[in-house]
A = this chain, B = another copy of it.
Amino acid sequence: MLYKISEQIFKMIQEGHQILKLNMGEPDWPTSTECVEAAIKAIKDGKTKYASAQGEKELREKIAVLHDSSPDNVVLTPGSKYSIYNAMKILLKKGDEVILFSPHWTAFELIAKECGATPKVIDLSFEKDWNLDFEKIKNTFSSKTKLVIFNNPCNPTSHVWSIKEENKLIEFVKKKGVYILLDCAYRGISFSKMPFVKYDEKVIICDTFSKTFGMTGWRLGYIVAHKNLINEITRLNQISITNVPVFVQAAGIAALDNYSIIAEKTRTESKRRAEACISILKGRIKFNKPMAGFYLFPNLEVDGEKAFDIMLEKHKISIVPGAAFGNYKNFVRLSLCHPVNVLEDACTKLIQTVEEIK
């Protein structure tokens, strides 16, 4: 549903419709000058040739430092989604089970199904502030479980689980002898700073340059994992996408060289926007306080798909119904990736929409 909506909105915009895109987690500001300039320099320098399917050594070295690993444990892909896609392709066979925490990013479920695996979805509760229930997790494991996926901070809720909670989950899953995949896409923009996940042979760390660095359309992400998995993903790169353009990787190097400054900017602005929306919605629509950038996942207490329809048709604002993220049909996801005044107006219209449906 998430991708059908995004393709539909792209088409409508290409056809000339004016739509406010609150359906995508994508900063409205341009990619940082440092990254843009590095890419342009690389293009001008002719870094437009075939390259290593694993990725440029310089970039892998910088990533390895962040995660206390070796460059041999790193592979670059066009977006972290392609890292996740290939890791799941390698680890999951038909009939296998993969544990997801819901509400969850749509891609996890779609990729699992594409692999012929069964997503075992653990529904977390809005009322319990998305708390992890280890008893439930324990009961969801079976002999078929091959992978657990954990996305912290969470898309779509912007909830952040504590490092203590995260480590407890990692240890729990490791004891079961299966891999845990940590999707860290929003980690750089958690409102309270989070450490990078450290390399561990049973942990698959996925991260992207899209969110923290405003590089969504550049398609650059990576996996840090056990060497066997890295070699397999490199092999899949070889027979599918060949390599990530070197000039895109050059932008990635510049991004990491300026990590603190760029991340701090993104974090501060994302927090400011979230707070503006909170002050409009508070007392009118239920939500859990976002703890990281980009999303609000309010519980409208009315049908989210109806709200989607009205917001799009009447107000020309695209949001995403909660059903795209699991059994959350009364929820919607709003991306807070626009200026404060625009978001305030959208929140007001969301309140009107809910009133209209009630």
Contact = CB atoms under 8 A, between A and B. Distances in A.
Interface residues of A, number: 54
A215 B48 contact: yes
B53 A26 contact: no
A192 interface: no
Given A240-B82, A242-B79, A26 B52 contact: no
A77 B236 CA distance: 15
A218 B51 contact: no
A75 to B, nearest CB: 12
Interface in A199-241: 214-219, 234-236, 238-241
Count of chain copies: 2
Nearest to A113: B239
Contacts of A244: 219
A7 interface: yes
Nearest to A26: B50
Given A7-B234, A43-B39, A57-B14, A111 B217 contact: no
A47 B219 CA distance: 12
Give the one of A14, A31, A47, A243 with max B CB within 10 A: A243
Interface in A1-58: 3, 6-7, 10-11, 14, 24, 26, 30-31, 36, 39-40, 43-44, 46-54, 57
Given A79-B242, A81-B241, A239-B111, A49 B216 contact: yes
Given A6-B238, A10-B52, 18 more contacts: A6-B53, A26-B50, A31-B46, A31-B48, A36-B43, A50-B217, A81-B239, A81-B241, A85-B239, A85-B240, A111-B240, A114-B239, A217-B245, A217-B247, A218-B245, A219-B242, A219-B243, A219-B245
